[in-house]
Amino acid sequence: MSLFSDNVRAPAQVARAVAALQDAAARGGNPPLLIAVDQEGGDVRRLPWAPPHQSAVRMGGDPASALRQGAAAGRALRKVGINLDLAPVLDVPAVQASFLGSRAFGRTPEAVGRAGCAFAAGLRRGGVLTAAKHFPGLGYARANTDLVPVAIDTPAQRLRSGYRPYRECLRAGVVNVVMVSNAAYPRLGARVPAVLSRTVVRDELRGRVGFHGVVMSDSLSSPAVGHVPDATAKAARASVDILLYPTNEAASAAAFDALLSAVRSRTVRRQDVSESAQRIRALKGADVK
């Protein structure tokens, strides 16, 4: 479950709601829920009272500050029962008109790696899981995939230079989840959105970067993906573990039915879904203290 500003009013209200959801899951014999939020910093804070009050670009020049801000954010989220922050943003802006704005920790892979991984380490120290995004990178995007379809026709070598922050955070052991972009990357063999591309998830993220944890989609309700037929099944076939429909309950229910139907008709392999479930269960049991 993902929380947004329009369903967040005060710490006590969030804590009560999350506790009720976790209690319902437990009474149903289910493992604990993942409760996620975009708490990046600056303007992108779904909990307006909670850190980090500084934006990523302000933290980018001071990894020690990013660590402190991340730890404070982690403690604030943990206090109300949120256990997954959809951060850090590890995109490296490479065009003047980048829509990322203050969400980026810097303009080089080195700078983003230093501050982004420090922020992630702080979140972990504060007691929450992390989700690095948006692989393989939105640094060359001139438009926001939350609003329109985006294709990034940048050579593969340049795109892959932006993988460095992911590798550094993985070596530091501070990334639990990687969120895959909704943009298309033709030079990586992904003419469809990356979140629907087995080449991006299996070959680039798991193969080249070496990430073997939980892979999450960006919003599958967004205009960048919503026009693609059978997007739910295609994301599952691409080896995406968590399919995100964050703001539309009806779409989420329809996606569940579509995935179930795809497994029953064998257009999605039961083994792939089982492996995704195993990775998610392992994530829920991760020690973040």
Tens digit of pLDDT per residue, the chain (289 long)? 667 777 787 999 999 999 999 999 999 999 999 999 999 998 899 999 999 999 999 999 899 999 999 999 999 999 999 999 999 999 999 998 899 999 999 999 999 999 999 999 999 999 999 999 999 999 999 999 999 999 999 999 999 999 999 999 999 999 999 999 999 999 999 999 999 999 999 999 999 999 999 999 999 999 999 889 999 999 999 999 999 998 778 888 999 999 999 999 999 999 999 999 999 999 998 765 5
The CA-CA-CA angle for residues 226, 227, 230, to 5°, reads 80
Q: Give the per-residue pLDDT at 163.
A: 98
Q: Give the per-residue pLDDT at 250.
A: 87
Rounded CA-CA distance 141/218 in Å is 15
Rounded CA-CA distance 139/141 in Å is 6
User: At 192, phi and psi to the nearest 5?
Assistant: -95, 165
Q: Give the per-residue pLDDT at 288.
A: 56
By the 8 A CB rule, do 240 and 217 touch? yes
User: At 49, phi and psi to the nearest 5?
Assistant: -85, -10
Coil, helix or strand for 84?
A: strand
Q: Give the per-residue pLDDT at 141.
A: 96
The CA-CA-CA angle for residues 217, 220, 223, to 5°, reads 130
User: What one-character DSSP code corresponds to residue 209?
Assistant: I
Q: Give the per-residue pLDDT at 265.
A: 96
Q: Give the per-residue pLDDT at 210.
A: 97
Rounded CA-CA distance 149/53 in Å is 31
- Region of residue 127 (phi > 0: left; psi between -120 and 50: alpha; otherwise: beta): left
In order of their start, the domains of the chain are 2-284 (3.20.20.300)
Q: Give the per-residue pLDDT at 21.
A: 95
Exposure pattern of 109-142 as b/e (b: 16+ CB <10 Å)? Answer: bebbbbbbbbbbbbbbbbbbbbbbbbbbbbbbbe
